Structures are given as structure tokens and as C-alpha cells.
Chain A
Amino acid sequence: MASTSKDNTNNCTAEQSNVTDTLEPGACSESILNPTDSFEEFASEMSSSLQDRDSSLTAKGSTISEIQSEIGESSKENAQMKNTKSSDDLQSKDGAMSASASNSNLTEQNGVDEDCDNEKDDYLQSPELVNKEKHVFILSSAGKPIYSRYGNEDKLAGLCGVIQALVSFIEEQNQDILRSINTKDCKAVFLVKGPLILVAVSKSNESETQLVLQLTYAFNQVVSMLTLTQLNRIFEQRRNYDLRRLLSGVERLIDNLLVFMEKDPAFLLGAVRCLPLPEKARENITNAIISACNKIRDLVFAIMIAGNQLITLVRMKKYTLHPSDIHLLFNLVRSSESFKTAESWTPICLPKFDATGFLHGHVSYISEDCQACLLLLTVQRDAFFPLSQAKHTIAEKLRRSNCLVAINDALNRNEELPTTNPLKHIGIPEIRHFMYKSKSTAQLFTSDPISLDRLQDYRTRHKEGGDITVKKIEKLSDIDYVRNYRKFCSQIHCTSIPAKLIFRSNSHDTVIAWVTNGFELYVTFDPLMEKDQAIRAVDRLIQWIKKEEHRIFIMNAPTF
């Protein structure tokens, strides 16, 4: 399991530096986001037994019905929810089996690839499918294809049958869970969730945990469209159901989510990016939302986002959102052109918040000249018109207080903003790239804030006075840096011997990965840096983040 890189990797405890005396940049006593570390969660997912797996999918109490009863809305919906709940308890088909938590990590020299050859299935050799860095398949536990990242899943029925047979063979014969198959240059990772089997076949450098995380996201994307309750019920009633009937359009969402996860470190770190804004502007936006919405009793969350970044989140007291639910909302908004043309009203299930039921979302863009999208999520399915009115009030206020301009400036990366080109502003020329996560608030800042939409390397775009050519930087994009961090990230999150500080220097670059109680930081420097020099630069970097924290992060946790 341990990485066998020849690099000079140094694990040592964090050195006390002067910046940690004060609160870490971005730290805040109360958070809008639930900062539970998803890595720990996935690590436990991977070591769970068959029995744990089944019991983890039976519904806990429904947060949505809790809210409904709290605001005195014992509506029909509530009753419906209860009815369906009984059928929601996954039958414990493995009740008689003894639990075993051992890992079935089959490592075979001639793994799946050759099996496929034996099958003589020509389609598996077609250009649509070969030479892809990462495949993702979703199938039902009966072996029916539901989704394939590449190619046509209809033609993959044979492959899905093989996957299903493998998974159930291990379960039935070995009373164990098939987690992964490793071949020379490729790993296949399996995840069985409720009635679905998800598989990633990857040639990338992502760890098993990272792949499981991605599969879990794909599963949650399906749940967010159907709810877990409905998903379970469908397959209880008809084990052979073709789920694609209910997932039209969701394929596009999963496609985009997979790309998004490969590019954006937010997934890797389980954190949310915020749109950098002047503190005052963000405060005005938040207040506009609160004053327009505070009379709407059944509103649970009001979320404003732009370009996969959070602008603000106002919430009902007691409730927070998990970063992964926000990522699904980012993905939904980013993937749906239809939100731009009209106000939408749609059921949305946020799996971490409550996988058993739908929230109802009013989704609209703030105005034609501002790409910020407002989501108003409620437990009341008839609330469209009051929310629509609230939205218009908010939009009007933001326009009058110049907040739309502030949002547009940030989105268009106005040159005058310190956060537009942080590296230039910080003025430490050796730093090529960094990403910083504030752990207590699950928020993230990277040196290329809108990497996803502007993929060009801004260092070359902004080259001035020839200093870039002097340093002869290879043209790396944000994505390349993120790929590079993956390995360090999994060492830091390794459950057996987690590293606190990793310093690695070679002729390509120098990387520092550092985790404390308050933050996680990954920095790429020029090659062959000395450790002392790098640590000093990191100190300065952290001081800069501290100085700009009110612009970069959401430092409070407003409620209605």
C-alpha cells in the first residue's frame, strides 16, 4: 500500500512556527459547513464489514420531517414520509452471516484485462473504451448496467454481468467484500451501496480511498435525484428494474461530476471554495438575504454561488451543510443551462443532510448581468411564490448596494483584487502553487481561484518583464499541481501512520504538505529548495492568508 516513490520523502512532526500562536487563517468558532473529515469517513467505509455496510444504509431519523414538525407543518408530506420509511429499511439479507472485517484486496498479476480478452468481447476493445485514464461503471446489484462514463452502457451488459458475479461471489463464498483488484498499471475499486454496485477502473495515481470517495459522490448524485428511500424501494419491488428510465439527464450530471472531481482540489480536501469578496460586500449580500427571508418560516438554506464557489450561505438555526452536499449543488447548477432561462422549482435531495427525502429548491440566477445563482431550499412544497418574491427583493437590494458589481469583479478576476493573482500579490517568487484548507470551517483557497473555468496557466498569461522566462517554468496548469498533491494528500490522511509534515525536493519541484489542527497546506516551489528556505516561505504565505482571510473565507455562520 505504501507509496514506493524514490523521492526523498521526509515525514516529521510539524515544526512550531510563529504563525500558529494566533488563530489559524480562516478559523472560526462557528461554521456554516459541517467540517467532518470525509477521508476518515471513507477510510472507515473501506474497513467496514458486510453487516456494517447494510446497516449504514438504513435510514436514520429524517432531518426534513424533524424540521417540519419543528415549524408545526405536519403536512401530508410528513405522513407520506413515514409511510415510506418502513419499506426503507433494507432487508438484512445477510443477517445469518457472520461479520468479517478482513480486506479482500486481491492483487493479481493478470487481472481483469485478461479476463476481458478471454471473453472475446470486441466492444471492450473499441476506441470508445480503450486508453481511458479512468472508467466508472454503475450497475444494479442484479447486474443491469446503469451508467458508464465512456461508451454505451447497453453494450456493456456482459462486463456488468462479470462485475456482478465477482462481487456476489466474494460476498457469498467468502462472506467478505470485494474492494479492489490491482494489476500492473491499473486498479479497479468496487463499492456496493444499497442496491447499486459502483466500479472505478483507473490508471491515474489516485489512491483507493480517493477512488472510493469519487464513487461515493457518484452514488450521492444518483441519490440526490431520487432519494435513498425511492432508490431502495424501486429495487425491493423489482430487482431487475432498469434504473436508466428514472435517470434521464442524470448521466450528464455524473459525467460532469467526474471531470469536476479530477480537476478541483475541493473534492480531494473535502472543502468548499468561497468566492473572494470584500468583507463588506459579503455582509451586505448576507443581510439582504436574511431580511428578505426571515419571515419565511420553512426555509432551511439560502445559498448563493457563482462559478463553483460559495458566496454566502444562510441557514436555519441548528442545521449546517456538508461540503459534499454543496459540491452536488455546484455540479447541478454548473451542468444545467435551463436554470438560466427561467426560475426553477425542483425537488433536491441532499444525501448528507437527509438522504430519505427531498427539499424543494427555488433556483434562479440573480440577474441577466450577473452569473450568481441563488438557491432557496425549503421543506414546503408549495412555497414557490413567496420564495420567488424573496428572490426579486434580494436581487433588487444587491443591485442597489453595488454587490452585483463586486461579484462580477471577483468572477472576472479584476486585476486590482489581491485574490485575482495571489502569487503575484504575495511576492514570494519561489512559490508556484498552493492550496490551503481551513479545517474548522471546511473552506479552501488555492492560488488559482477559478481554475475550473479558466484552465490556462495564468502565470504565462500574466507574464511581465520576462521573469517567467528567466525561471523557465514548465507550463503546468492547476490540474497538474493537484494531481501532484494527491500522493501527499493520501499520506497525510493515511489512517495508520498519518504524516504531519512532508517535505520533498527533487529536480522537478519542491513540495511541502503540512497539516495542523487548524489547517492543511500544500505548496509547490521551484526545484531543489532548501527545507529552511521553504519553511520560511510557508510562514510568509500563511501570514498573507491571515491578512486576507476576511476576503477569502466566510468567517461567520449566519442564520435566518
Chain B
Amino acid sequence: MSRCDFKVVLLGCEHVGKTSLVIRFVTCSFNGNAPYQNTIGAAFCAKKMYSKGRDFNVGIWDTAGSERYESMTKTYYRGTHAAIICYDPCDIYSWERLQHWMRELRIVEEDCKVYLCGTKKDIVDSGAAAREVSEETVANYSKGLNGHFLTSSKTGENVEELFQKVVDDCVADLKLMKDVEEHRRQLITIEPVKHKRFCAC
């Protein structure tokens, strides 16, 4: 059983920047020189976060965007509390694919909170690449969702804010929190003491 209170999953096309986002968030770093390597399967990370006066362990699943893993990805979003669906504003294809995950997610986990995340804000801002997805399109689309952020893993802009909002929303959700408390109680009865450091990755 997971020792994490919240389960968050990152979805989106390959190369949109999911792994960079998680690495920025968890280790506060970005390596722009390392050549791109696609994620294999999925990677799990955890981080302790603070909200409404309490500590929470947040488990983050960084999934592979490659089509090859599409049939597997369901395994990762089962039981997830929140999903961050990423797209690259300078890549229209990544935006079009977004709807695919949205549909899938709704089938497997209809209650889960959904956030849109436009990545590589630094590139958009500098104009180094042309925006292919207009702000208006994004604004319209994200109306029914729990939030939209434009982040840069290079500068770190909005990364903390995105994850903080996810956790705050979870903590504010009474029904969800009831499950979390129940989960914590179960953990204590199943495995007494000794499990402090588990979620550090």
C-alpha cells in the first residue's frame, strides 16, 4: 500500500516536459544540457508538502507520453486524486492529444481533479518558438477544469504554485480527506511504527 496521502498523475504527449516538471518540483533543478530521454513506463516520486497547517505526503506518477505505453497508462491513473495534463503551447499536436487523456481519465476516474499545464513558458515568453495554441482556446477549454497554469521548468516559474494548488484543493475536499484519514489509520494498523522515511525519493 502506498504511504502517500495524495496521488497525483502527470499525463501528456511525449516531449511536452512532464519529467522536467517533476524534477524541477522535487529537486528544484533543471538540466537543459542533458539530451532528451523519454520516460520508460512511469516514474514515481514523492514529496512532503504543507497545507492548512499540516504535512502531507504527495506521491507523483510521471508517466511516459509515448504511444507505446498508452494501454498501460490506465494502471497509473487508477485511484488518482488529481491529474495534471501537460501540453506544449508551441506544439499543436500536444494540445490535440490532450483530449484523449481527458476522455480516458473520465472513464477510469470520474471524480479526479484535473489541471491543465502549459509547459516551457520561458520559450513562449522569449518568442523562440511560435505559439500554436492560442490563450483563448486554452481559457475556453479549461473553464470546466480545476485550474490552468503556464509553467517553466527551466526558470521554475509557477511550478510550486501548480502543485500547491493541487494539494490545497485536495485538502479542501472533505470527501477526499475522509478517505485520506481512513488510509492513514489503515497504515498504522497494518504496519506499526518504523516507516518514516519511505516516501523520500
Q: Which A residues fall within an 8 A CB radius of B?
A: 225-226, 245-249, 252, 332, 336-339, 341-347, 361, 381-382, 384-385, 388-389, 392
Contacts and interface: CB of A to CB of B under 8 A. Distances in A.
Interface centre among A341, A347, A384 (most CB of B within 10 A): A341
B38 interface: yes
Contact of A342 (B2, B37, B43, B72): B43
A344 B40 contact: yes
A332 B14 CA distance: 19
27 contacts: A248-B38, A248-B66, A249-B38, A249-B40, A337-B37, A338-B37, A339-B40, A341-B19, A341-B43, A342-B22, A342-B44, A342-B62, A343-B44, A343-B45, A344-B39, A344-B41, A344-B44, A345-B41, A345-B43, A345-B44, A346-B40, A347-B41, A361-B41, A384-B44, A385-B1, A388-B198, A392-B197
B44 A248 contact: no
Contacts of B72: 347
A336 B40 contact: yes
Contacts of B27: 341
A226 B66 CA distance: 12
Interface centre among B23, B41, B67 (most CB of A within 10 A): B41
Nearest to A388: B44
Nearest to B4: A385
Contacts of B41: 344-347, 361
Contacts of A247: 68
Interface of B: 1-3, 14, 19, 22-23, 27, 34, 37-45, 62, 64, 66-69, 72, 75, 197-198, 201
Contacts of B66: 246, 248-249
Interface centre among A247, A249, A339, A382 (most CB of B within 10 A): A249
A248 B43 contact: no
A345 B42 contact: yes
Contacts of A249: 37-38, 40, 66
Contact of A343 (B22, B43, B197): B43
B43 A382 contact: no
Contacts of B42: 344-346
Top 10 A-B pairs, shortest CB-CB distance: A346-B41, A342-B43, A249-B38, A246-B68, A342-B45, A248-B66, A343-B44, A385-B2, A346-B40, A344-B43
A341 B44 CA distance: 9
A458 B22 CA distance: 41
Contacts of B40: 249, 332, 336, 338-339, 344, 346
A92 B163 CA distance: 54
Contacts of A226: 68
Nearest to B42: A345
A385 B42 CA distance: 13
Nearest to B69: A347
Contact of A248 (B14, B62, B197): B14
A341 B14 CA distance: 18
Contacts of A347: 41, 69, 72
Contacts of B39: 338, 344
A18 to B, nearest CB: 50
A248 B67 contact: yes
Contacts of B34: 337
Contacts of B44: 342-345, 384, 388
A341 B68 contact: no
Contacts of B23: 341
A27 B3 CA distance: 45
Nearest to A348: B41
A346 B1 CA distance: 18
Contact of B67 (A245, A332, A336, A388): A245
Nearest to A335: B37
Contacts of B75: 381-382
A338 B63 CA distance: 12
B88 to A, nearest CB: 16
A347 B73 CA distance: 11
